[in-house]
Amino acid sequence: MRYFLAILLPPLAILLCGRIVAFLLNVALLILILGLLQFAHLGSWAYAFVIIHALLVVHSHLADLRARRLAGMIKKAL
């Protein structure tokens, strides 16, 4: 679900992960991309950078959740 959201609305997906600094970076990238699209017609391919950044942040967040769950299971087993 979050990966799909990262493709459609990248800043929202990052915000739902709770990564505020990454959210602000993604919004800044999005504003820069919109400026490039308006003035230099380079934003159409550059929007992929915003999506890739969101996908990496979502993947990192989900990996952190898996690691915490695994650490809890190991702690419980000992």
Q: What is the pTM of this model?
A: 0.84
Q: How far is CA 41 from the centre of its chain?
A: 24
As given in the structure block, the two tokens for residue 29 are 């990238």
- pLDDT at position 68, please? 96
- Residue 16 near residue 57, CB atoms below 8 Å: no
What is the percent of the chain with per-residue pLDDT over 90, rounded to a whole number?
68
pLDDT tens, the chain, 78 aa long: 899 999 999 999 999 999 999 999 999 988 888 877 777 666 567 788 899 999 999 999 999 999 999 999 999 988
| Cα–Cα dist 28/68, whole Å | 30
Report pLDDT digits (tens) over 67-76. Answer: 999 999 999 9
